[in-house]
């Protein structure tokens, strides 16, 4: 068997992985087609061998020279795979990448370091698919048959880190991305280049990710840290991730045609004064989900002028659960043509922070919304349940301050529900898992 190894591994037929935890009864899993069972250890964890075939390539460690992954192979991510600065990873249309199981430092993920590039330019006929080794999808297929929207946290996710401006809480213009230890320099992101080019993602589906990396901390399906507008991101699906679907940490990258479905936390999370535009986005929530949109603003004193834009979006709840949107922490930007539907509590939440036992208002999303020259606007949108102003205080003995009536009145006047078209779902037809499995 001729097995190619990429990164720091020598060419060997199999590599033993020690999983730090195991939720399989007696170390068995009928879905684990890429694993051979070994004995259950005394501490309750399981040891498996990664079994590769002639059609599979195991990847680990650092990619230090320009590399191409081809559609005639399946690539197995064993732990963190890092594309070094100055290096381009090219992924051909139709290529399947599978992440090995593992948690904490052993969680598998693909990291495009600051200064590196990914060129993953798929097509509707041949999308590029990131999924779990537990997925029985094979070469040339668009979906497997054994995992569904409830299968989350089976591997890590995709992280792209760039040099575009961010607003970090420390006031620094460079920070360390969540999920990567501070000692690992490849986890840094941010800078002063709004035109940063970290490559291309087009017709890419990221499925079943969100492995646990610490207490209450999971990897996002797609993490974008300081990614600039020179980067092209179009036609993206994120399915069944334990944590957020996509999280923007500052940056100015634009995204067109984004589908986030059945995630365990927020679907689209904006932090650190993201200043790009997301056009035509669909969010599908269920009882496992939290917010469809969680929008934050500036965190520090650097890069305070950036404004996000969200255009043409639909946020669904399949079972009435979750909440469509939460604007907080000085969120500033524009939401235009948002349609929310299916929620039992369909109100969007706008945060107002107070201090001095709820007496003095602090600048927050609500302040930006109701200002005479607003920094936060929600227009041409269909939000039948309206707005809920949620008040908190940094020093109040109660969990929340009483709702400030004037804030509530002004916020409701600023967000007037109207008929909206929302997103165009047809952008995701034929190629996304959600469409193939009739899960819209």
Burial class (CB in 10 A: 0-12, 13-18, 19+), 287: exposed
Would you say the pTM of this structure is higher than 0.95? no
pLDDT averaged over 10-residue windows placed end to end, the chain, 440 residues: 39 31 34 34 38 84 98 97 98 98 90 98 98 98 98 96 93 87 91 97 98 79 98 98 97 98 98 97 97 94 93 97 95 98 95 86 92 97 94 73 87 96 98 98
SS3 35: strand
Looking at residue 404, what is its pLDDT? 76
Looking at residue 361, what is its pLDDT? 84
352-391 confidence digits (pLDDT tens): 988 888 888 888 999 999 999 999 999 999 998 999 999 8
Looking at residue 27, what is its pLDDT? 38
Looking at residue 165, what is its pLDDT? 97
Mark out the alpha helices in 312-404 (DSSP H runs). Answer: 365-370
Looking at residue 181, what is its pLDDT? 81
- Sign of the Cα torsion 388, 394, 400, 405 reads negative
How many other C-beta atoms are found inside a 10 Å radius of the C-beta of residue 305?
11
SS3 18: strand
Q: Distance between CA atoms of 280 and 9, rounded to whole angstroms? A: 41
Side-chain-facing half-sphere of 148: CA atoms under 13 Å = 4
Count of domains in the chain?
1
Q: Which domain holds residue 278?
A: 5-436
Quick one: how far is CA 214 from the chain centroid? Answer: 17
Looking at residue 52, what is its pLDDT? 59
């Amino acid at each position: 068997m001729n097995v190619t190894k990429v990164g720091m591994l020598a060419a060997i037929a199999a590599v033993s992985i020690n999983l730090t935890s195991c939720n399989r009864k007696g170390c068995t899993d009928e879905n684990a087609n890429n694993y051979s069972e070994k004995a259950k250890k005394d501490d309750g964890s399981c040891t498996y061998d990664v079994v590769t075939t002639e059609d599979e390539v195991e990847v680990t460690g650092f990619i230090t020279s320009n590399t191409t992954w081809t559609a005639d192979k399946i690539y197995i991510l064993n732990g963190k795979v890092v594309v070094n600065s100055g290096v381009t990873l090219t992924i051909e249309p139709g290529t399947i990448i599978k992440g090995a199981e593992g948690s904490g430092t052993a969680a598998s993920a693909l990291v495009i370091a600051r200064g590196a590039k990914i060129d993953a330019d798929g097509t509707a006929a041949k999308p590029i698919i990131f999924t779990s080794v537990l997925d029985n999808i094979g070469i040339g297929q668009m979906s497997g048959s054994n995992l569904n929207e409830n299968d989350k946290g089976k591997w890590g996710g995709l992280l792209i880190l760039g040099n575009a401006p961010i607003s970090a809480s420390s006031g620094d213009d460079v920070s360390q991305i969540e999920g990567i230890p501070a000692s690992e320099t490849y986890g840094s992101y941010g800078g002063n280049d709004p035109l940063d080019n970290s490559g291309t993602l087009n017709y890419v589906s990221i499925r079943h990710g969100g492995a646990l990396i610490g207490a209450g901390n999971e990897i996002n399906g797609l993490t974008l840290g300081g990614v600039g507008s020179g980067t092209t991101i179009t036609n993206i699906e994120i399915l069944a991730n334990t944590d957020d679907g996509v999280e923007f940490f500052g940056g100015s990258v634009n995204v067109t045609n984004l589908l986030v479905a059945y995630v365990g936390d927020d679907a689209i999370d904006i932090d650190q004064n993201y200043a790009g535009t997301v056009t035509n986005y669909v969010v599908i929530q269920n009882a496992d989900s939290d917010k469809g949109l969680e929008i934050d603003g500036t965190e520090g004193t650097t890069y305070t002028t950036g404004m996000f834009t969200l255009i043409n979006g639909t946020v669904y709840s399949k079972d009435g659960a979750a909440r469509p949107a939460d604007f907080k922490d000085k969120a500033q930007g524009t939401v235009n043509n948002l349609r929310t539907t299916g929620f039992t509590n369909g109100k969007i939440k706008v945060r107002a922070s107070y201090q001095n036992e709820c007496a003095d208002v602090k600048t927050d999303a609500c302040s930006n919304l109701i200002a005479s020259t607003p920094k936060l606007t929600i227009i041409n949108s269909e939000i039948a349940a309206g707005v809920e102003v949620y008040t908190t205080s940094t020093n109040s003995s109660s969990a929340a301050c009483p709702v400030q009536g004037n804030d509530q009145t002004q916020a409701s006047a600023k967000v007037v529900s109207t008929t909206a078209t929302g997103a165009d779902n047809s952008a995701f037809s034929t190629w996304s898992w959600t469409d193939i499995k009739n899960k819209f």
